[in-house]
Chain A
Amino acid sequence: MVQTLWLDARVAQQHKSEDQTDLELIDAINRGDHAAFEALYFRYRDWVIGLAQRFTGDPDTALDVMQETFLYVLRKFPGFKLTANLKTFLYPAVRNLAIASRQKTQRAQSTEGELFEIDRTPAPAETERVSLADLGIVVGLLPEEQRETLLLRFVDGLSLAEIAEASGVPLGTVKSRLHNALKTLREDERTREFFNQ
């Protein structure tokens, strides 16, 4: 059973670099500033672990992937050049490490709807109210590339260009995947209501 963790005040105080941009933190880390690395770590730790869990479906494996990801990042310094959103750099690293980890543990998760811890009991047919469970089911049934594009765009907040760079595919491919994912959700009777404002 996973538990919610909140940073305590003591930890928050240690990160005096919270106001610095990613670029400023990267520059400081390149100069050997350990406190800057610590700030960057806590800034992205939860996102990385959430993304890892999305790929692995398992909290313990996600923790391992998170550790490996930051050790991978650490080895890029000094000399690391940030040319875009840091998430576009982290995303492929997390994905590749998660896939490798998943294969290693031979706990391949189904890509159909098992990545979300929600109640999957279908809503009663007579209700027109769309439940989160229905959304989870339909999203889970999307092809993996479409689902990832959808989540990167609307959950992780990446732009289409950033998604293209992170995924290593052309921008047109990203647009096509996103378009098809939204089209599926729009046309599915279980999720159509989400498009009614």
Chain B
Amino acid sequence: MTRGKNNDPERENLDFEAPDRLVRGLQGLQNKPVFVPRTIDEAILRSARQEFSKATRKKWRWPILIPSFGLAVAILLMIALWHYNQGRASKGQFAREDVNHDGQVDILDAFALARQLNEKASVPSPADLNGDGVVDDRDVELITAHAVSLGGGGKS
């Protein structure tokens, strides 16, 4: 084998190559294959199966958990909103003149109160607008006057 110059590309390749005879010799030096009992193969593959089944259980969990959580939150919000609306109505957050609780004080509220009085239905005490202790036609007149003065109805 000839030697070349240090920067000779051919020599550079030769420095890292080995003749086939040497390569065969090196390969021939290797130890004889080790006998691997089947039990060892099976133990390793069994561990692999266990790891994979653990990963699969974790994998399907998230696509179910996240939408379920979202749904639960939505339901809770709806219930809370319904309760809020119910509570708002029962706390009389509407004006006393707004007899029909439509958010407007207009002639319809006067009609509603008059109808209740005619039907002799129980009228809630907030309808006693003149504070005389009785809910009667005088309160209906007050609502009518209020509705007219607001120019056909105003916000409750």
Size of the A side of the interface (Cβ < 8 Å), in residues, is 52
Q: Given A139-B29, A151-B26: A2 and B35 within 8 A (CB)?
A: yes
Q: Does A100 contact B (CB under 8 A)?
A: no
In B40-56, the 8 Å CB interface with A consists of 40-41, 43-45, 47-49, 51-52, 55-56
Complex Cα spacing A11 to B32, Å = 21
Of B22, B27, B34, B45, most buried by chain A (CB within 10 Å of CB) is B34
Q: How far is the CB of A121 from chain B (nearest CB, A)?
A: 15
In A165-197, the 8 Å CB interface with B consists of 175, 178-179, 182, 185-186, 191, 194-197
A179 cross-chain contacts in B, Cβ below 8 A: 15-16
Complex Cα spacing A37 to B44, Å = 10
B55 cross-chain contacts in A, Cβ below 8 A: 32, 77-78
Q: Does B20 contact A (CB under 8 A)?
A: yes
A75 cross-chain contacts in B, Cβ below 8 A: 51
Selected contact of B27 from candidates A115, A118, A155, A160, CB within 8 Å? A155
Q: Mark A114-125, 1 if CB is under 8 A from B, else 0.
A: 011110000000
Q: Does A80 contact B (CB under 8 A)?
A: no
Q: Mark A1-29, 1 if CB is under 8 A from B, else 0.
A: 01111000000000000000000000000
Q: How far is the CB of A175 from chain B (nearest CB, A)?
A: 6
**Contact of B40 with A77 in the complex, beta carbons under 8 Å:** no
Q: Does B33 contact A (CB under 8 A)?
A: yes
Q: Which chain B residue lies CB-closest to A71?
A: B47
**Contact of A116 with B31 in the complex, beta carbons under 8 Å:** yes
A53 cross-chain contacts in B, Cβ below 8 A: 31, 34
**Contact of A63 with B36 in the complex, beta carbons under 8 Å:** yes
Name A's interface SS: helix
**Contact of B33 with A50 in the complex, beta carbons under 8 Å:** yes
Residues of A within 8 A of B (CB): 2-5, 32, 34, 37-38, 41-42, 45-46, 49-50, 53-54, 59, 62-63, 66-67, 70-71, 74-75, 77-78, 115-118, 132, 135-136, 139, 150-151, 153-155, 160, 175, 178-179, 182, 185-186, 191, 194-197
Residues of B within 8 A of A (CB): 1, 15-16, 18-23, 25-36, 40-41, 43-45, 47-49, 51-52, 55-56, 59
**Besides the contacts A4-B35, A37-B48, A53-B34, what 18 more A-B pairs have beta carbons closer than 8 Å?**
A4-B33, A34-B52, A49-B34, A50-B31, A50-B34, A54-B31, A62-B34, A71-B44, A74-B51, A75-B51, A117-B32, A135-B29, A136-B29, A150-B26, A151-B26, A154-B26, A191-B22, A194-B22
